[in-house]
Structure 1
Amino acid sequence: MPGVQEVVEMAERGLNRSDALYLLREADVFTLAKAAEELTRKYYGGVVTFVNNVVINYSNVCVAKCPICAFYRLPGHGEGYVRKPGEVAAMVERFAKERGVTELHINGGFNPFLTPEYFDELFREVKRRVPRVAIKGPTMAEVDYYAKLWRVSRREVLSRWKETGLDAISGGGAEIFAEEVRKVVAPHKISGEEWVEIAELAHKMGIPSNATMLYGHVEKEEHVVDHIFRVKELQERTGGLLLFIPVKFNPENTELKARGVVVRPAPSTYDVKVVAIARLILGDKLKVAAYWLSVGKKLASTLLLAGANDLVGTMYNEAVLTSAGARHSASVEELAEIAREVGKTPALRDTFHRVLAYL
């Protein structure tokens, strides 16, 4: 079994898929964590970043019917909603004034009733009311859905959104890229290859994005490794990724739990190994997040000693993960304390990972 220094040396030489799969399956969790922490300190120092942001879903109406999702409502459901552009802008303005948010994280779903003009008005109204707030929103999957719905190209959707105020794209909808997994967890979404294609197109158009990976459901270790390598290869081609966010699946209120496919969250040791292997594969090419909203604030601190160096954001008003049982929102000071607990220096950043203040 390799020791910490051997794992560090392997990572510095550059892991291949078989090396990474071996480490994820066989290496001791503490060895992986220590090696990942050593690399993180070497490449990024002891700083942990996050953004002060608000999450607003423009709609919960979605026809994708993903069995991993507890948030969506089908068209005609009594709990379905579409927020008016002015309502969204007013919410952002309030959070900007009261809590100092610098980013709007906005997405929804596959709503067949929305028009291009709806998004035009939405983004423009937010920029009119709060011009300094960056808009990070809809996912690659939404880009594809609305391109097909409106019978235009993906490029046209991205170009129009950028022109009306979109600054960056959120990393959602990536799930796990492997098709045998997507058939189970997101059968009506774009393929993993299409997600990467749209991300690459956006990056070439000057629209950066995050990348996520939803783990802890039906995937195997080889799927995790393949997903992270595809993220790494995308970053090597475009340099347009801002952050890699491993998102832990919570089965509460989902179809997968109702069917008995996934009955409980993955163990915390798996969370540590996933984050650590992400750092060992990605090296200095991309920051790795400890997504406190999906793992909890206590475990997030541990992940900051296992390869992670970003806490994503305050996530005020988050509703998607919350609908599956996550605890929503944290203040700037709460996130800073998560970093301080493990001897790291917290830093408030903007959407584009420019440090605004050390805390």
Structure 2
Amino acid sequence: MTYVATVGEVLEMAARGLDRGDAVYLMREVDFFTLAEAAHLYTQKLFGDVVTFVNNVVINYTNICVAKCPICAFYRLPGHGEGYLRSPEEVGALVERFAKELGVTELHVNGGFNPFLKPEYFDELFKAVKKRAPRVVIKGPTMAEVAYYAKLWGMSWGEVLARWRDAGLDAISGGGAEIFADEVRRVVSPHKISGEEWIQIAEVAHKLGIPSNATMLYGHVEREEHVVDHIFRVKELQEKTGGLMLFIPVKFNPLNTELHARGVVTRPAPSTYDVKVVAIARLILGGALKVGAYWLSVGKKLASTLLLAGANDLVGTMYNEAVLTSAGARHSASVEELAAIAREAGKRPALRDTFHRILAHL
């Protein structure tokens, strides 16, 4: 194959369907301006110029976690003075307040691997939210949390998910995916599930009628081939189940993490890399999924740029977010702010629900 460098040629390759080798070449050898323009034109053709996002609140039910991931600045080990566990009633009351005061339609809820929790805690948590805010969609926890609690309680993944669904869970968070490659996971999340297990749990959730997002944490120790393989595996999962709603590349912020303290990752990845990651995601995924410009991890200004590089969703307002904020991210944005980010890129903002149904054009 003769490899290329022009926008038109990149678009031709994408239209034919990239393979992993093509995508690695494009990431490594083609300049980010060309990739961004090609991905933007591809997005325009497939989705038009509408950029969506959900009005949501993030509540972490606990920060107590025994996973000890070197990428995380949020967790506290059992016995730590800053550790906490929110009661189901406290979470329900918080969601009700955000729904009434800010009109949120989604609760993004997750936490850590808390060894003290019983199955009944989550039953009560989801039921409390539905009682206090019945119209709010509950999205979360992550595939990794499903696996941890299934093992802790002696249950199967399907049993945990079905129980949570019956208690009020509507969708699963896409977190914990990190990078699927084992050699990367051994560095960034050595005590979590494998990438293959993440995919398998997603398949179980989708079969149970529980849709999910998919994320990818980039900008640490991965190489281009790891990014490309991760995105292809997300695409293959979507082709198999149809249960994914959004792909969200999440930029790693090293501040306050073990990887930073050890000198493994000393600074965030450059913005040019952010552009390439989002662009290659669009060129690989085509029309299979929306791609998020996760302003919380890249900043609001760069998020607007990413809307010109293949992204077409701003994820959410993310009120009350604490995990990325622990690593230095700036938390929360109003509906009006996200609409302004979209307009800055010449896009038409639209408020959506969790399941990507348009609620209002803004």
- Superposition TM-score tier, normalisation by shorter sequence: over 0.9
Q: Compute the TM-score of the two structures, normalised by the length of structure 1.
A: 1.00
Partner of 1:46: 49
The one-letter code matched in structure 2 to 1:141 is A
**Alignment partners' CA distance in 1, 2:355 and 2:139:** 10
Partner of 1:16: 19
Pair 1:131 & 2:173 matched: no
Once the two structures are superposed, residues 263-285 of structure 1 have per-residue CA deviations (whole angstroms, 9 ceiling, x without a partner) of 00000000000000000000000
Partner of 1:92: 95
Query: Per the alignment, in what secondary structure is the counterpart of residue 321 of structure 2?
Result: coil
The one-letter code matched in structure 1 to 2:109 is I
Partner of 1:354: 357
Pair 1:171 & 2:157 matched: no
Query: Per the alignment, in what secondary structure is the counterpart of residue 65 of structure 1?
Result: coil
**Alignment partners' CA distance in 2, 1:8 and 1:164:** 46
Pair 1:211 & 2:210 matched: no
Q: How does 1:192-203 map to 2 (within 5 A)?
A: 192-203=195-206
Partner residue of 1:275 out of 278, 294, 297: 278
Partner of 1:319: 322
**Alignment partners' CA distance in 1, 2:57 and 2:133:** 13
Q: How does 1:336-355 map to 2 (within 5 A)?
A: 336-355=339-358
TM superposition shift of 1:214: 0.2
Partner of 1:235: 238
Once the two structures are superposed, residues 242-266 of structure 1 have per-residue CA deviations (whole angstroms, 9 ceiling, x without a partner) of 0000000000000000000000000
**Alignment partners' CA distance in 2, 1:37 and 1:68:** 31
**TM-align CA RMSD:** 0.4
Q: Percent identity?
A: 82
Once the two structures are superposed, residues 92-127 of structure 1 have per-residue CA deviations (whole angstroms, 9 ceiling, x without a partner) of 000000000000000001000001000000000100
Once the two structures are superposed, residues 298-355 of structure 1 have per-residue CA deviations (whole angstroms, 9 ceiling, x without a partner) of 0000000000000000000000000000000000000000000011000000000000
Query: Per the alignment, in what secondary structure is the counterpart of residue 106 of structure 1?
Result: strand
Query: Per the alignment, in what secondary structure is the counterpart of residue 178 of structure 2?
Result: coil
Q: Compute the TM-score of the two structures, normalised by the length of structure 2.
A: 0.99
Query: Per the alignment, in what secondary structure is the counterpart of residue 303 of structure 2?
Result: helix
Partner of 1:25: 28
Once the two structures are superposed, residues 173-229 of structure 1 have per-residue CA deviations (whole angstroms, 9 ceiling, x without a partner) of 000000000000000000000000000110011000000000000000000000000
Partner of 1:109: 112
User: Tell me, which stretches of 5 or more residues in structure 2 are unaligned?
Assistant: none
The one-letter code matched in structure 1 to 2:148 is Y
**Alignment partners' CA distance in 1, 2:107 and 2:131:** 14
TM superposition shift of 1:2: 1.9
